[in-house]
Structure 1
Amino acid sequence: MKDMSDTKTMILTVAERFDDRGDIMQLTLKGDGPLPLFTAGAHIDLLVETPEGPLWRQYSLAGNPADRDCYRLGILKDPESRGGSTALHRLVKTGEKVHVEGPRNHFPLATDATNTVLFGGGIGVTPMLAMAWELHDRDAPFTLHYATRSAERTAFLDQIEGLPFRANIVLHHDDGQGAEPLDLARDLPKAEAGTHVYVCGPQGFMDWVIGEAEKAGYPGKQIHREYFSADVDATGDSFEVYCEQSDLTVTVGPDETIAKVLAREGLKIEVKCEEGICGTCVTDVLEGEIDHRDQFLTEEEREDGDQICCCCSRAKGRLVLDI
Structure 2
Amino acid sequence: MNILLTGASSRIGSTLIRSLSKCSGVNVTAMVHRSLVNITGCEIRKADLRNPESLVKAVEGIDAVVHMAALTRSVRESEYFRINVEGTQNLLDACKLAGVKKIIFLSSRAACEEGGGYSRSKLKAEQCVRESGLQWLILRPSEVYGQGSGDAINRLIQWIRKYPLVPVLGTGQARFSPVYIDDLVSAIKQSLLDEKLENETILLAGPEEMTLDELVDRTSKCFGVSRSKLRLPVGFVRLGSEVLAGLGVKVLVPDQVPRLLCSKDRDISKASSLISFSPRKLEEGIAAYCLVRK
Give TM-score scaled by structure 2 length.
Answer: 0.30
State the structure with bigger RCO (CA 8 A, min sep 6), 1 or 2: 2
Larger C-alpha radius of gyration, 1 or 2? Answer: 1
Which structure's residues are more often strand, by fraction?
A: 1
Which structure's residues are more often helix, by fraction?
A: 2
